[in-house]
Structure 1
Amino acid sequence: LCSSRARLADALLNYAETESSRLERLRQFADTLRSNDGNVSGIEHPVEAYVTIRQMSREWKALLGQCDCAETYQLVAKSAGIRPPAEDDYNGAADALLRLQDVYRISAAAMARGRLEVNSKKGTGDGEQTDSGPLMLTAEDAIHLATRAFNTSLLSIGMDWARLLLMSDAFPDWTIERKLSRALDLLQLAAQLPSSQGGSQIGAFLENMWNKTSGNLTGAAAKISSQIKVISDGEKETENYKEICREGSRTNNHSSSLTCRLAVPHPFFTLAPVKEELLNSDPRVTFLYDILTDRESDRLTEVADPRLQRARVSGGVFTKIRVSKSAFLDDEEDWSVERVNRRLGLVTGLNVSDSDPLQLGNYGIGGQYEPHLDSKGVGLAKGNSRLATALLYINNVKQGGGTVFTRLGLRVQPVKNGALYWHNLRRNSSDIFDTLHAACPVLEGS
């Protein structure tokens, strides 16, 4: 009996020590999650958002792997009223960062440090951008982003992340052997890309790499880094809208016909004329300032927020062409919807009773809408075409998020309470193809 009592005491002490260690890990993880408390802008920064999603998905799962506490996790999540991000959310956040890099040519070195610097020069792999600033991302993050880039055929961006992994001043907690081993894994993945995307160049390079470096790890890392830059710089980017998203308007149409005026399109506006700026004369594109009030914008956000769902394109399908969430609101759902629709009818002179419901969109992390026509390119021949578009902005965006007209070389940045207005069809009901437009990815904000 005495011996049993001693063994029980030892067992309880061992259990208590194990529980104490587990609770300490939980406290450390909680402290990590709480470290950004009060940083309101953090959720608007794409790198911060990516790190948070990684913490709440991957790191939490890794913590569970160290203890038998799956039931505890479910209870904690339920008591907090949350659904932690899943693997798809983690990969989606990575794809969003890559999309921002692709459009705004942000280097891996800058992105890893949270620097959202738009680069008008070709190629993202610019080693000059690496500095001594603290890294917000880890080596495993770099590998995850490179892998996602190669899986979506973004060769130059994936190579840029692989190159960052090999830089001596990045991720000092990793040895050169570990960096080189993982970089080679990434290059093997890139080598599987079609020849047209540079895969053959990488494959040929890998075949000769070890012979030329004689197994010298430091020399191999330097040579791989140099070769990555050569391959990356050879990739061309031809999408016109991406250039306008980065560089701004390229139109030379600065004639005297482009004016600002106080317009009275209806007697309703007699005492408060509409502030109208003509941005393009043919086709006519105008910006209407203060078409909404702060109260209306805030109310529309409040009504739409709980109803936002991933946006679809024609046919009701999900696609990477459009990455956003949206909600449709009818007049009878809230006073703000009815008031805004009535005002749009007065300012445009159009009958809005047959128009689409008011659609509110949120582009979130790296959201975008690639070039498209609102008229669907069929005129009125098949019906269901949109005669005109009024694009309302209910908040400002810190960086990115502009609306671009690719054939006009025009970019318009969001201005809260303003509206961008244009016609999609001519008087003979034919399409105005020069209204082809796109939404630039939101770099910071939503």
Structure 2
Amino acid sequence: MSKKTNIESFTSTTHLTHLLNTEIVLAKKLEIYLKQEYERLDHIEKFINVIKDEIRQAQRNEDYYFGNPVNAYLFIKHLTIDWNNIEEILPTDFAKDITHKWLFPTFEDYTGSAMGLMRLQDTYKLNTSQLANGDLSSKFKSKRLSALECYDLGRVAYTNGDFYHTLMWMQEALDHLDTETNNTSINKIDILDHLAYATSQQGNVEHALAITKEILTIAPDHIRANNNKFYYESIINNRTLAKQKRKDDTDINESTNLKLISTISNIKNYTINNERSNDDLEEQELYEKLCRQNGAQLSPKHQAKLFCRYRHNNHPYLILQPVKEEKLLEKPAIYLYHDIMSDSHIEKLKSLASPRLQRAVVRDSTTNTFKPADYRVCKSAWLRNEDSPIVARLSRLIEAVTDLSMITAEDLQIANYGVGGHYEPHFDFARKIENDAFSGLSAGNRIATWLTYMSDVEEGGATVFPLVGGHLKPKKGSAAFWYNLHPSGEGDRNTRHAACPVLIGNKWVANKWIRERGQEFRRPCLLDPMA
């Protein structure tokens, strides 16, 4: 406690009157402190109520709760942004106890989950209002996002230079703010400021000017808005001058320009341009369209070549229990094998892999190194045959079904997908332009892929083949198989495939990539490069 300044007072009544003034001032200061303390405690109490409500909904049904991407995003935001804000108003010792003893998601987790929501929005054509109001599908509902939560999503997009989503989410934040009473968590000017810049970057200068003027009606001295107003007006005036010049009309004066600008008053009068930017938007849209389908769209001619049958290959492992084989595509030949693994075996593999899960990495062909990538969002772990009899049994089963050697095959990769988890279109085989990506393993290229589905997925999460229209919906216990290489050893480009974003559910898969070495007599090479 700090030392107080003291004076002798009992010997003078006049000094006591001075001390009364001191107590009056101190009482007012104490009242202010008490009010601030009540506000702080009220903030903490509201936060505790949010935690209790979240725990109540999630406990005993965690997979279902977090299978909803909005719930998952809000939970990660809660443990990063919200807890960080609470930490700042907690006593120092208590705050240190929290940060030093407990694990929390990172800011990258927060931004990644936000971008996952936007990926779902694009892939499954979810209207922004639809997603913000929790209407993910007819079967699954989630919490309605507040104006602040919509703003936070827009901020993530803004920070990443994604003005396509910034525009949509800032507009949604504005719409939600208009319906929320006594909302002090977000300032309307902050929303308008981001919205104006995002819409200008999407080519809507007139719209940006109108929003900027709205900011100035609220805060006339807003420095950035005043500067932007001048900037947008200059662009519009220069554009008008250029248009008039093309018409060879040189009789244009300043008053005409000012009149043009003054007519911009109603934001809703504009047709807003807001197009996605993507290096290969055509393939992206084809892939997303296929993700939205319930199954492969094949012609009757192609469907006639498909079949279902029991298969045993005259292999001792399958004589008494042949596998259920379904041919899903003709070229490339893609098969689905049903009831490959029991639920109990799947749960054992998941429990074995869970503590080993790490963020999946992909190879960077320019640096010949592996690193995390936005186009593959999941965590994975590798299991060897020696790790469990179940892993060894699956390897034996794959060899029996495919008649390919597992001696040079890669270990079993177990993967679990996160919020909007996906893997964009790719090849499993290494192409020649990739500087012999798999030469270090001395086992050749990936001749074939075996993909076991270890969970059902309520919505989304399909495996699709964009070039041929293939669509495989995950089915727990089933496995897909296809050759990545032609018998000549050349890569089959029709095997380009993707894992669609998981809309609702928890997706687990087990990948087994089979290599060329050891298959020389099991799948003989042919001279025809495309055979």
TM-score interval, normalised by the smaller of the two chains: 0.7 to 0.9
- CA spacing shift, 1:216–1:134, aligned 2, 3 Å: farther
1:444 corresponds to 2:504: yes
Per-residue deviation, residues 270-317 of structure 1 (Å, max 9, x unmatched): 222211110111210011011111121111100110111111112311
**Secondary structure of residue in 2 paired with 1:57:** helix
* Partners of 1:146 and 1:14 in 2: CA distance: 36
CA shift, 1:362, in A, is 0.8
> Which residue matches 1:86?
106
Task: Give the letter for the 1:72 counterpart.
Answer: F
Any residues of structure 2 matched to 1:18-417 within 5 Å, and which?
A: 25-36=43-54, 37-39=56-58, 40=61, 41-67=64-90, 69-76=91-98, 82-117=102-137, 136-167=144-175, 171-173=179-181, 181-191=189-199, 193=201, 199=202, 201-207=203-209, 223-224=266-267, 227=270, 230-232=272-274, 238=282, 239=284, 240-248=286-294, 249-252=296-299, 254-265=302-313, 266-314=315-363, 315-378=369-432, 382=436, 383=439, 384-417=444-477
Q: Give yes or no for contact 1:51–1:137 (8 Å, CA) kept in 2.
A: no
Q: Give yes or no for contact 2:448–2:484 (8 Å, CA) kept in 1.
A: yes
Per-residue deviation, residues 355-386 of structure 1 (Å, max 9, x unmatched): 11100111111111111110122399945410
- CA spacing shift, 1:334–1:17, aligned 2, 3 Å: farther
- CA spacing shift, 1:389–1:188, aligned 2, 3 Å: same
CA shift, 1:421, in A, is 0.5
Q: Give yes or no for contact 1:103–1:243 (8 Å, CA) kept in 2.
A: yes
CA shift, 1:397, in A, is 1.1
Q: Give yes or no for contact 2:485–2:491 (8 Å, CA) kept in 1.
A: yes
* Partners of 1:24 and 1:179 in 2: CA distance: 21
CA shift, 1:247, in A, is 2.8
- Indicate the structure (1 or 2) with the bigger Cα radius of gyration: 2
TM-score by length of 2: 0.69
Once the two structures are overlaid, the 10-residue window that deviates more, 294-303 or 235-244, is 235-244
TM-score by length of 1: 0.81
- CA spacing shift, 1:374–1:225, aligned 2, 3 Å: farther
Q: Identity rate of aligned residues, in percent?
A: 29
- CA spacing shift, 1:364–1:214, aligned 2, 3 Å: closer
Q: Give yes or no for contact 1:389–1:424 (8 Å, CA) kept in 2.
A: yes
**Secondary structure of residue in 1 paired with 2:204:** helix
- CA spacing shift, 1:135–1:169, aligned 2, 3 Å: farther
CA shift, 1:232, in A, is 2.9
Per-residue deviation, residues 101-143 of structure 1 (Å, max 9, x unmatched): 121111221111222249xxxxxxxxxxxxxx99521212211
Per-residue deviation, residues 182-222 of structure 1 (Å, max 9, x unmatched): 332123432574xxxxx3x22343235667999599xx999
* Partners of 1:20 and 1:212 in 2: CA distance: 36
* Partners of 1:206 and 1:276 in 2: CA distance: 58
* Partners of 2:305 and 2:126 in 1: CA distance: 37
* Partners of 1:368 and 1:114 in 2: CA distance: 21
Q: Give yes or no for contact 2:135–2:142 (8 Å, CA) kept in 1.
A: no
CA shift, 1:57, in A, is 1.8
| Structure 2 unmatched ranges of 5 or more | 1-5, 11-15, 17-22, 220-262, 364-368, 507-531
**Secondary structure of residue in 1 paired with 2:155:** helix
Q: How many residues align?
A: 415
- CA spacing shift, 1:319–1:183, aligned 2, 3 Å: same
Task: Give the letter for the 1:279 counterpart.
Answer: L
> Which residue matches 1:430?
490
Q: Give yes or no for contact 2:146–2:173 (8 Å, CA) kept in 1.
A: no
* Partners of 2:432 and 2:426 in 1: CA distance: 13
* Partners of 1:226 and 1:93 in 2: CA distance: 34
Task: Give the letter for the 1:394 counterpart.
Answer: M
- CA spacing shift, 1:414–1:225, aligned 2, 3 Å: farther
Task: Give the letter for the 1:243 counterpart.
Answer: K
| Structure 1 unmatched ranges of 5 or more | 119-132, 194-198
**Secondary structure of residue in 2 paired with 1:396:** coil
Q: Give yes or no for contact 1:378–1:385 (8 Å, CA) kept in 2.
A: no
- CA spacing shift, 1:141–1:358, aligned 2, 3 Å: same
* Partners of 1:395 and 1:209 in 2: CA distance: 48
* Partners of 1:134 and 1:287 in 2: CA distance: 34
**Secondary structure of residue in 1 paired with 2:292:** helix
CA shift, 1:431, in A, is 0.7
Q: Give yes or no for contact 2:386–2:392 (8 Å, CA) kept in 1.
A: yes
Per-residue deviation, residues 388-408 of structure 1 (Å, max 9, x unmatched): 000111111111111000101
- CA spacing shift, 1:223–1:262, aligned 2, 3 Å: farther
CA shift, 1:15, in A, is 9.6
Q: Give yes or no for contact 1:390–1:421 (8 Å, CA) kept in 2.
A: yes
Once the two structures are overlaid, the 10-residue window that deviates more, 432-441 or 150-159, is 150-159
**Secondary structure of residue in 1 paired with 2:325:** strand
**Secondary structure of residue in 1 paired with 2:336:** strand
- CA spacing shift, 1:212–1:380, aligned 2, 3 Å: closer
Q: Give yes or no for contact 2:124–2:288 (8 Å, CA) kept in 1.
A: yes
* Partners of 1:285 and 1:427 in 2: CA distance: 15
- CA spacing shift, 1:66–1:294, aligned 2, 3 Å: same
**Secondary structure of residue in 1 paired with 2:432:** coil
* Partners of 2:472 and 2:265 in 1: CA distance: 43
